[in-house]
Structure 1
Amino acid sequence: MADSAPQAPGQNEERAKSKKIGALKALLPFVWPYRSLLYAALAALVITAVISLTLPLAVRRVVDNFDTENAYILDQYFAAALGIAGLLAIGTGLRYMLVTRLGERVVADIRKAVFDRVIAMSPAFFEKLMTGEVLSRITTDTTLILSVIGSSASIALRNILIFVGGLVLMLATSPKLTGLVLLIVPAVIVPILVLGRRLRVLSRENQDWIAASSGNASETLSAVQTVQAYTHEAASRVQFSDVTERSYDAARRRISTRALMTVIVIFLVFAGIVGVLWIGARDVRAGDMTQGALVQFVIYAVMVAGGVAALSEIWGELQRAAGATERLVELLTAEDSVQDPDTGLLLPEPVAGRITFENVTFDYPSRPGTHALDNVSLSIEPGETVAFVGPSGAGKTTIIQMILRFYDPASGRITLDGVDLAHLRRDAFRKAVALVPQDPVIFAASARDNIRFGRPDATDAEIEAAAKAAAAHDFIAALPDGYDAYLGERGVMLSGGQKQRIAIARAILRDAPVLLLDEATSALDAESERAVQSAVDTLSTGRTTLIVAHRLATVKKADRIIVLEDGRIVASGPHDQLVAEGGLYARLARLQFTDGMAAE
């Protein structure tokens, strides 16, 4: 793991997509609902730009009237300049408030839209993209967009107005000097365009490495106990350090390119201004223009030069935001391998729980060509308890995942009460299913909230009843705060068996007609297993129950046992019949009930 050289996500195929600043257009659908706020911000921006452009006019009047005998006129010009400065301050503050508020609102909507999209994606999506990278896009990339909407974009527009307006007023002040200034414009534009393209590529690479670093840290920290148990801390540090250093290296090259562009632009701009001033000073001495006119021209020239310099820096920010926008748009437009129909069919009410597999073949996207299920046909009647057994990798858990429609079969179909799952909306038919997964998921919340996850509208009494049925009440009540005790991230406060009992209580509370138990009692001690098994027996009454288990003692009471091997059904029947027939099940039973006991 540590020896492999990390690769930035999408380093080859995705990098080509980040070529145009036009990617920022994708933000318009998020900005448009708040167009009134946008228009107000633009109005404030235009007003402040116009006020800024009037200041040099007042300064010119002051300079040209230094020698006047009427001090009152000079006082009026100073008062006017002070009033303009006050208006500029108020307008700038208003612009900042409106634009920042707009940016925060739009970014909040983008984060919600991305999360809403990602949380509905099927597991196949997360086989290709690390969770840490998704989180990086939701946090880091949206922060870049916030900087653009809440600051850079308005500053860019303001400087464009200052540049255009200042250029016009420069022309009105002195066409000759303005013509000389315009000669240096091509020299400024060329490095912006040339280095800007390089900056786009580096910005996208930098963001990719940041996401890779975040994904690596997330994966390692989520398995920190395994990392420590295998004394893998040093190797994990090396790997994270490598990815982080690559991120830094990409950032360093981006910063160097941007700094070079800034140096070239600012030097060319101000070198040109110095040359123009030299010529202007000679014109004043010759009497061709007044001192006030030269000062006015100089101020406009500085404003125009400052605007160009600011635009060169903001261009780099816009490049980074364009890359960030592309990465977020990729999530928003990602195609899910499992699609809901536009208008889903309705399940018959009440849901009986009849499940049918008709010639189902399926390969996991990460293992194409290897059948997880191979032409499986199976019918499970309402209220029947069916157990699935077989070696690891036989397809037992895949059956559960297909019923939940985490994946679609490559061929064949799966029906619930005679309706093809592909014709139902996933959020509709999953309400009829309760799952206890092989690895129970415990959220960073209280015990009560973890159980209530099964049915958010459940009362406290119903939650406690479910916990008692799952043999979880006693250990929950013994916690310092009882049902309100905080269980920690991923349930670090609980043992493996306690986590499973919380997950079983959650499924009991859901009270669904179809119950899926994937190794639901694998982490329980003998006493707890007996209690939970009794609860499961009670719960499964009148419900269609599918049990996946390696321990055959937990499935002996099933109405029917399905034996899977290499994705195929190789035997089916009750326990006694399968033992009498010999074959794979009899061999597994002999290992567990005879050799296994002898070994103990």
Structure 2
Amino acid sequence: MSNTLEPTASVPVADRPARTAASMSAREMMVALWQFMRPYKLVLAGAAVALVFTAVITLSIGQGVRLLVDQGLTGDTSQALAHAVLVLLVLAGLMAIGTYARHYLVSWLGERVVADLRKAVFDHIVTLHPSYFETNRSGEIMSRLTTDTTLLQHIIGTSFSMALRSALMFAGALILLLFTNLKLSLMVLVGVPLVLLPIVLYGRRVRKLSKASQDSIADVGSYAGEIIQHIKTVQSYTRERYEQQAFAKEVETAFNVAKRRIRQRSLLVAVVILLMFGAVGGLLWVGGNDMIAGRMSSGDLAAFVFYAFLMGSAVATISEVYGELQRATGATERLMDLLHVESEIPVSTTAEPEQPARASRGQVAFEAVEFSYPARPNHPAIRGLSLDVTAGKSLALVGPSGAGKSTLLELLQRFYDPQGGRITLDGVDIRALDTGSLRRQIAVVPQQPALFTADVWYNIRYGRPDASDAEVIAAARAAHAHEFIEQLPDGYSSHLGEQGTRLSGGQKQRLAIARAILKDPRILLLDEATSALDAESEYHVQQALQALMKNRTTIIIAHRLATILHADSIAVLDQGQLVAQGKHAELIEISPLYKRLAELQFQDSERQKPLVE
């Protein structure tokens, strides 16, 4: 795969039809799930064969019961009894084999389909536009990825096969009932609608409560995740008791919703069981009188009761599974909703290259850029800004909080697209470039480094997975990180904990610098890359960055002006606009804003008043 920046002909999101799970019919949702089951049609066919086989064997046991009663229990010879018992044992053995095959294949299919579904959901999540995560909590997304898919696994791997098996048993038992005794069969046919009626009536209510229950569980997970993520802040402000009470309210809310759902399902099952056994009791009364009168044999009555019980059990199972299917419908809607979210930025169409991309020259230009964040459409972050960054040169961005410095870096990486104007790389609008190829040209050292719950090797290699151990160590040395890494319990194999909690702020930042050095990019973005370092480490890292910046296009967000005095150019931003540009000495003369910032920082020799973003 070429590392060049290739234009892509992706269709803009605005031109694609919108679609949400809320507008999907039940049939469309089944079709959506079928897409995940279709690759395993052979397994599905095997499970269906095993399902039909066990249903036939189960129905045949009724004839074995009739044979046992008529020829064994009421017969004259021990041989007839042995024969009847042997028939039942053979049928039981065959049913055990068929049940094993059915259970294994269906359970395997459920696990496999849900694994594929989870992968599809996650693969889609990592391509979504950042604005989606501004309006959707990560805890809720994780609930869909875990809780909802687990529910579907139970439905596909257990409940669905039970429902199909019960449906087959119901149909087969009904046919055999008609052959056994027509009068009693007509009584069963009259009673079945009475049993099915509550299933239909309560089904919709259970479905609504099931979806509400899933949403409330997601809220609980989201709240807990946020508190755990900010546990130091919670404890620092001694808010443990408050958070315990707030979480208890979330849990109680979820419990109350679940309680209403459980009440409806329990009532449904209880009514069905009551009606079922009432019907069986009526059949026993009528059939028993017929047997006493000699109109039917005891074996026929036993077989008839067996089949009637199978029918009743089938209806009870279907009623219980129906409630679970309603829950699954809610979970499916949530998952399909997530899968149908379309990213505002086209997904990369290029594969990962074996080597870091170095195809572009690195000439960057912002041309009359207008931009507002999706969550704040009425508050422009960038206002008609035009700015050139010469290839191989460094540009520092300075200005007060909210000036738009970080926004420019996000726009350059195409996390967002401007509403007006354009951004070009080597004269090409970056919206015409493949996002993967574009971002592989860029390395970022953010103000708050992002580290993963893995070892040091993994975190430094994140931008270049194929790098050798020697290259990783060289990058760490250049970032002045090698010494403290060697002092970790397992050196480079030490795990850093969630978000790098086992490291200090300065150590995290040096690992992020090592990651950028290893990636060896054409464009380097530094968002106050040395802000968390002590004075000695900052000096050494500045030397490393100076070497890294050589012949690379570098954009630096600077809060401390002392760190960017040697930049090739300094751009002063205020309220999303470019107000001045030049070298330090020039800006002191022509820009009142820059002069004020410089006076605040350089008025004493220690420069202890950094401008906070």
Q: Scaled by the length of structure 1, what TM-score is found?
A: 0.94
Structure 1 residues 537 and 75 mapped into 2: Cα distance closer, same or farther (>3 Å)?
same
- In structure 1, distance between residues paired with 2:28 and 2:267: 24
Q: CA deviation at 1:363?
A: 0.7
Q: What pairs up with 1:189-588 in 2 under 5 angstroms?
A: 189-340=196-347, 350-588=359-597
Equivalent residues of 2:530, 2:541 under 8 A apart = yes
Deviations 1:297-353 (CA, angstroms, capped at 9, x unpaired): 000000000000011001111111111111111111111122248799x99972111
What one-letter code is carried by the residue in structure 2 that aligns with 1:292?
Answer: G
CA pair 598-127 structure 1, distance change in 2 beyond 3 A: closer
Residue 453 of structure 1 aligns to a residue whose secondary structure is helix
**Corresponding position of 1:3:** none
Structure 2 counterparts to residues 104-123 of structure 1, below 5 A: 104-123=111-130
Using the TM superposition, give the Cα deviation of residue 56 of structure 1 relative to its aligned residue in structure 2, in angstroms: 0.6
What's the secondary structure of 2:147's corresponding residue?
helix
Structure 1: which 5+ residue stretches go unaligned?
Answer: 1-13
Aligned to 1:74: 81
Shift of 1:132: 1.3
- The answer on 1:158 being equivalent to 2:165 is yes
CA contact (8 A) 2:350 2:436 kept: no
Q: Secondary structure at the match of 1:391?
A: coil
Equivalent position SS for 1:371: coil
> Which consecutive residues of structure 2, in runs of 5 or more, have no partner in the other structure?
1-19
Check whether the contact 1:386–1:545 (CA below 8 A) recurs between aligned residues. Answer: yes
- Residues 162 and 304 of structure 1 are in contact (CA less than 8 Å); yes or no, is this contact kept in structure 2? yes
Counterpart residue type for residue 25 of structure 1: V
Aligned to 2:3: none
Q: Superposition pairs for residues 47-62 of structure 1, below 5 Å? A: 47-62=53-68
Per-residue CA deviation, residues 539-566 of structure 1 (Å, 9 max, x unaligned), is 0000000001211111111111111111
The alpha-carbon distance between structure 1 residues 348 and 358, as it changes in their structure 2 partners (threshold 3 A), is farther
Q: Report the alpha carbon displacement of residue 582 of structure 1 after superposing the two structures with TM.
A: 3.6
User: What amino acid maps onto 2:118 in structure 1?
Assistant: R
Give, as a single letter, the amino acid of the residue that structure 2 aligns with 1:144. Answer: L
Are 1:23 and 2:29 an aligned pair? yes
Residue 75 of structure 1 deviates from its aligned partner by: 2.2
How far off is 1:24 after superposition?
Answer: 3.8
Give the CA deviation at 1:68: 3.3
Corresponding letter in the other structure for 1:279: V
Could you say which residue in structure 1 is the equivalent of 2:13?
A: none
2:597 maps to a residue whose letter is L
CA distance in 1, matches of 2:294, 2:591: 115
Deviation of 1:216 after TM superposition, in Å, equals 1.0
For residues 385 and 194 of structure 2, the distance between their equivalents in structure 1, rounded to whole angstroms, comes to: 71
**Aligned AA (2:164):** L
Larger deviation: 349-358 or 536-545? Answer: 349-358
Alignment-derived partner of residue 9 in structure 1: none
Deviations 1:62-83 (A, max 9, x none): 2112443344333222211110
1:47-67 Cα distance to aligned partner (Å, 9 max, x none): 000000000111111211244
CA distance in 1, matches of 2:102, 2:337: 32
**CA–CA separation in structure 2 for the residues paired with 1:15 and 1:116:** 18
- Residues matched between the structures, number: 587
1:39 pairs with one of 45, 50, 67: 45
CA contact (8 A) 1:22 1:322 kept: no
Q: Tell me the secondary structure at the aligned position of residue 183 of structure 1.
A: helix
Query: Does the aligned pair in 2 maintain the 1:341–1:422 contact within 8 Å?
Result: no
**Aligned twin of 2:138:** 131
How far apart are residue 17 of structure 1 and its match? 6.1
Aligned AA (2:400)? P
Deviates more, 1:461-470 or 1:73-82: 73-82
Aligned to 1:95, the other structure's residue is in SS state helix
Bigger CA drift: 408-417 or 32-41?
408-417
Three-state SS of the structure 1 residue aligned to 2:603 is helix
Q: Give the drift of 1:512.
A: 0.5
Q: 2-side partners of 1:175 and 1:312: how far apart?
A: 26
| Match in the other structure for 1:5 | none
Q: How far apart are residue 183 of structure 1 and its match?
A: 1.3
1:571-597 CA distances to partner (integer Å, 9 max, x unpaired)?
Answer: 111111001224111110111111685
SS at match of 2:440: helix
Paired with 1:517 and 1:599, the residues of 2 have a C-alpha distance of 21
Following TM superposition, by how much is the alpha carbon of 1:21 offset from its aligned partner in structure 2, in angstroms? Answer: 7.9
Kindly state the Cα deviation for residue 526 of structure 1 after the two structures are TM-superposed: 1.4
How high is the TM-score relative to the length of structure 2?
0.92
For 1:321, give the aligned amino acid.
A
In structure 2, distance between residues paired with 1:157 and 1:378: 66
Per-residue displacement from partner, 1:492-545 (whole Å, max 9, x unpaired)? 111111110100000000001000111211111111111111111110000000
CA-CA distance at 1:215 after TM superposition: 0.9
Q: Secondary structure at the match of 1:570?
A: strand
Alignment partner for residue 98 of structure 2, among 88, 91, 97? 91
Residue 89 of structure 1 aligns to which amino acid in structure 2?
Answer: A
Structure 1 residues 107-166: Cα deviation after superposition (integer angstroms, max 9, x where no partner): 111111111110111211101111111111111111101101110011110000000110
Equivalent residue for 2:69?
63
Which residue identity is paired with 1:378? L
Q: 2 CA distance for matches of 1:169 and 1:340? A: 58
Please state whether the residue corresponding to 1:369 is helix, strand or coil.
Answer: coil
Q: Residues of 2 paired with 1:76 and 1:420: CA distance?
A: 85
Preserved contact between residue 601 and residue 608 of structure 2 (Cα < 8 Å): no
Displacement after TM superposition at 1:195 (Å) = 0.8
Per-residue CA shift, 1:172-197, capped at 9, x if unaligned?
Answer: 11111111111122221221111110
Between the aligned partners of 1:36 and 1:55, the Cα distance in structure 2 is 29
**Kindly tell me: are residues 539 and 349 of structure 1, through their superposed partners in 2, closer, same or farther at Cα, counting changes over 3 Å?**
closer
For 1:465, the aligned partner's letter is: A
CA RMSD of aligned residues (A): 2.1
- Going from structure 1 to structure 2, the CA distance change for 1:379 and 1:62 (only over 3 Å counts) comes to same
Offset, 1:18: 8.9
Equivalent pair of 2:348/2:436 in contact (CA under 8 Å):
no
C-alpha distance in structure 1 between counterparts of 2:350 and 2:491, whole Å: 45
Q: Deviations over 1:346-388 (max 9, x none)?
A: 9997211111111111111111110011111111111010011
